[in-house]
Amino acid sequence: MLNLATVVETNARLYPDKPALITEQSRVTHGALNAFANQVANSLLELGVRPGDRVALSCLTNPFFTMCYYGILKTGAVVVSLNPLLKREEIARNLDDAEVSVFICHDGAGQLPMAVEGYAAFEMACGCRSFCLIQEDGEQPCLPNRAVDFSALVKPQSRAFETVQTAPDAACSIIFTSGTTGRAKGAELTHANYAVTCLSYSDVMGYTPDDVILVAAPLFSVLGQTMLMSAGLSAGATLVLQSRFDPERVLCAMERHNVTVFSGVPTMFYSLLHYPGLHKHDLVKIGKHWRTGIVGGAPVPPNLLDEVESVFGVRLQKGYGLSETTAVVATTRRGRPYAKDSVGVPMWGAEIRIVDESMNDRSAGEAGEIVVRGPMVMRGYYNRPDANAEAFRGGWFHTGDVGMLDAEGNLHILDRIKDMIIRAGFNVYPCQVEAVLMRHPDILMAGVVGVPDAKLGEEVLACVVLRDGVSLNAEDIIAWGRKYLAGHAYPRRVKFLDRLPLGPTNKILKSELRRLAASI
């Protein structure tokens, strides 16, 4: 039997008075985290939640998320993580698709209209029977008619609870993802998925109880939920939580709390490196404590790791994974040589192949689809047999990503299959074009998409953000691309932007770039 909530229970025994969660306003010890999670679990029993039920959680990155997350798991129920930025129609679809019985919703703390959108979605959903509103301290608004005041429900509950033991292959979490194509689907991850990933990732990163991990990635995402929260707590570490990524707040937190681990997507690190107030902070102190981190979730420009090391003195690792693989399936390893443009080697237990459309293996250095199997791969998309049949063709999970394995077994990510551009019959991988563009000393960020072309089928468009104080024209960008890329691959069209559109996890939104491209 296995329940991921064992993580907080173990820490409560070993480190009851050690900080588990730190915010700008509060500190929560490991003992208090477990006790509050027990109160949440007792509250859910009062609402009729039973093992296997789905409980939705929409919450900012704050202690409430972590307390509720483990409280839900203690009952044997399944956490359905919802993006706080969603509007009512999509929230309602997710509630129905996951067959949610209870919806716990944060009020947004004045940052987002989460209570309004969440309650409207609850009213629209078919089978959700209870809506619980978490209200931050301060003036309390009137609750909607059918809403439950979550704090009032939790406060009188016992701080003791006997955790329900679940089978290792029982569902632990459902995380909605676009998957390889189409409408968002719920990736159903098991307790074993999380346990294997957290323990193997914690080992790769060398997590210890002395680590202080800065969490600026949203906890609803698999990166925040697995690689930071669950893996960090499995090692007894302390988490410094931030409700959103902001360079000033990140740097202040790193100074104040002697942060040892900071991980995120590439745009986070670029924002830090090019933040105007960077050098007013004690970078020597930050670099003295910051010992490791991982960058992933999007293509990593080849110069990014060098820039971070030059400024902060820390060498980041790289990783690759998806929601469907419980976040991470391949990483670089400390002390092991790896090709600079690769994302390293498979994690413990993971098998990775590069195949063609007929599932034949591609040779080293040849591009194909990345397929994966192993103990970190999800049980499947919840209630989506059609999508599962497509995703698990041949007994392997099809990632929808294009990659290659080199002769040493390092994995190289080329692009998403759906983002690949076909120009005059030739395949163009946007992330390879982006990597070349971002080697230009005057380019801060670049995003590449395909746009319709009557003669060629698609043309390559580069959306570019320049560094402050420089001036380039489209011809300069095209000439740079022509110098370093094949004749079919360099961009012929350029659009200059003040910033690239980013999603809630700070990844570049290619769909938004395509929309902007339509205005050219």
Structure-block tokens of residue 386: 């059609």
What are the tens digits of pLDDT across the range 75-96?
Answer: 999 999 999 988 888 899 999 9
Q: How confident is the model at residue 181 (pLDDT cuts 50, 70, 90)?
A: very low
pLDDT over 60 at 182, yes or no? no
pLDDT value, residue 519: 66
- Ranked by mean pLDDT, the top range of 48-52, 184-188, 463-467 is 48-52
Does residue 39 contact residue 158 with C-beta atoms inside 8 Å? Answer: yes
- pLDDT at 298 > cutoff 90: no
Architecture of the domain defined by 23-166: 3-Layer(aba) Sandwich (3.40)
Integer angstrom CA distances of residue 452 from 237, 422, 460, 517: 50, 10, 9, 10
User: How far apart (Å, rounded) are the C-alpha atoms in residues 183 and 189?
Assistant: 19
Check pLDDT > 60 for residue 19. Answer: yes
**Residue 385, class by beta-carbon neighbours within 10 Å (0-12 exposed, 13-18 middle, 19+ buried)?**
exposed
Is residue 443's pLDDT more than 80?
A: yes
Query: Which tops the pLDDT comparison, 306 or 214?
Result: 214
pLDDT at residue 291 is higher than 90: yes
> Could you report the per-residue pLDDT of 184-239, keeping only the tens digit for each?
899 999 999 999 999 999 999 999 999 999 999 899 989 899 999 999 999 999 99
Nearest-angstrom CA–CA distance, 375 and 388: 17
User: Mean pLDDT across the stretch 277-284?
Assistant: 96
Asked whether residue 170 carries a pLDDT value surpassing 90, the answer given is: yes
User: What average pLDDT does range 393-398 have in this prediction?
Assistant: 96
* DSSP H stretches of helix in 241-384: 247-257, 266-273, 283-289, 304-312
Q: Can you tell me which residue has the tokens 């679990």?
A: 41
Residue 179: the pLDDT is 42
Most confident of 173-187, 310-324, 455-469: 310-324
Quote the CA–CA distance of 451 and 294 in Å, as a whole number.
Answer: 33
Model confidence band, residue 140 (pLDDT cutoffs 50, 70, 90) = low
CA distances from 73 to 14, 33, 50, 381, 470 (A): 20, 14, 11, 19, 52
CA distance linking residue 329 with residue 322, whole number of Å = 8
User: Residue 72 has which token pair?
Assistant: 């839900």
Tokens representing residue 37 in the block? 């999670």
Which fold would CATH assign to domain 193-415?
Rossmann fold (3.40.50)
3-state secondary structure 450-505: EEEECCCEEEEEEEEEECCCCCCCHHHHHHHHHHHCCCCCCCCEEEECCCCCECCC
31-46 per-position pLDDT tens digit: 999 999 999 999 999 9
- Which backbone phi and psi does 452 adopt, to 5 degrees? -60, 140
User: Going by C-beta distance under 8 Å and a sequence separation of 6 or more, which residues neighbour residue 106?
Assistant: 58, 59, 60, 62, 64, 65, 84, 114, 115, 133, 134, 136
Please state the rounded mean pLDDT for residues 328-337.
Answer: 85
Question: Is residue 389 pLDDT above 70, yes or no?
Answer: yes
Separation between Cα atoms, residue 443 and residue 274, nearest integer Å: 12
pLDDT digits (tens, 9 = 90+) for 246-257: 999 999 999 999
Q: Are the beta carbons of 122 and 88 closer than 8 angstroms?
A: no
pTM: 0.86
HSE (side-chain half, CA atoms, 13 Å) at 511 = 5
Fold classification of 420-517 (topology level):
GMP Synthetase; Chain A, domain 3 (3.30.300)
Backbone phi and psi for residue 149, each to the nearest 5 degrees, phi listed first: -75, 110
- State the pLDDT at residue 85: 85
Among 109-118, 300-309, 504-513, the least confident range: 504-513
Distances (CA, A) of 36 to 25, 93, 161, 166: 18, 30, 10, 21
Domain limits, the chain: 23-166, 193-415, 420-517
Q: Quick one: pLDDT band at residue 71, thresholds 50, 70, 90?
A: very high
User: For the chain, what is the mean pLDDT?
Assistant: 91
pLDDT value for 89? 87
Please give the residue that has the higher pLDDT: either 269 or 299.
269
CA distance 92 to 442: 44
CA angle 96-198-77, nearest 5°?
30
Same fold, 23-166 and 193-415: yes
